[in-house]
Structure 1
Amino acid sequence: MYETILFPTDGSEATIGAAKHAFSHAERYDAAIHVLSIVETASGLGTAGHDETELDERRAERASAAERIVSETAPDGVEATIAVEFGSPARVIAEYADRNAIDLVVMSTKGRSGAERIVFGSITDEVVRHADAPVLAVQR
């Protein structure tokens, strides 16, 4: 049913529950899984105005957090591809899903909260509205 699954993560503990679901589906369907972490860039301006060293550090931090989640949650025999990209999280997730023929996106409903959620909205909500692939939203 699913050949390629996408699990976007910010590396936080709030995403561990969704990671378990994503890897469970990957194991059940013998699917490839992509773990995507995004370095959010302000106002969609991309990497302009950011120091190259700072961007490299942020990429390395995100990659390390994604690797930690994979090592903590991936069952034996399930291989994960880890990717780190820059930009607006919802847009990057939807575009990544399209580029990589993702059959299912599994993501946490936890993330932004309070005023930040009111102003920016939920990343999961945006992905549900804009991604072509089905989205499994996992509550913590």
Structure 2
Amino acid sequence: MYRVLMPVDTSEERALSQARYVTSLPDASESVEVHVLFVFTDEGGDLPREFEQFKSASRIGSVRRATEYLEENDVDTTVREDSGDTAADILDRAEDLDVDAIVLGGRKRSPVGKAVFGSVTQSVVLNTDRPVVVAGGESS
């Protein structure tokens, strides 16, 4: 079984692009197992404070949409969630699950935007020895 970690943010378009890539892998329905990961962050404002008790990755639209697409294409899918530092959580989860690859969603940014805001993608690519695929890309 080929294990893939697919961290998603709140963008349904990026999540679907990632899911499309995963389903395009050879024999995906028979030999790929994907772990869809959503990391809740304090500064991200993913959910209003009054909904903290209901915080669940399966309630996030991008997670639901990507999971539906993967399941429609018969890919073995598990939803996972974490909270804290997105890049560190992705790297830790990849290690814990001993995945074969990490599939990230691309985001088009200017060089200044990368310098000012940092990049989860860049951090993951630079700090793992696992293959990393950046699928798609939308303007932010």
Which TM-score tier does this pair reach, normalised by the shorter chain?
Answer: 0.7 to 0.9
Give the TM-score normalised by the residue count of structure 1. Answer: 0.76
How big is the shift at 1:139? 2.8
Give the TM-score normalised by the residue count of structure 2. Answer: 0.76
How big is the shift at 1:29? 6.6
Q: Number of matched residues?
A: 129
Aligned to 1:82: 79
Distance 1:137 1:94 in 2: 15
Tell me: CA distance 1:18–1:72, structure 2 relative to 1, closer, same or farther (3 Å).
Answer: same
How big is the shift at 1:83? 0.5
Segments of structure 2 that go 5 or more residues without pairing to the other structure are 44-48
Q: Judging by fraction of residues, say which structure has more strand.
A: 2
Q: Percent identity?
A: 23
Residue from 83, 93, 96 that aligns with 1:96: 93
How big is the shift at 1:17? 1.1
How big is the shift at 1:77? 2.4
Runs of 4+, deviation exceeding 4 Å: 113-116
Distance 2:113 2:40 in 1: 17
How big is the shift at 1:128? 0.3
CA contact (8 A) 1:20 1:74 kept: no
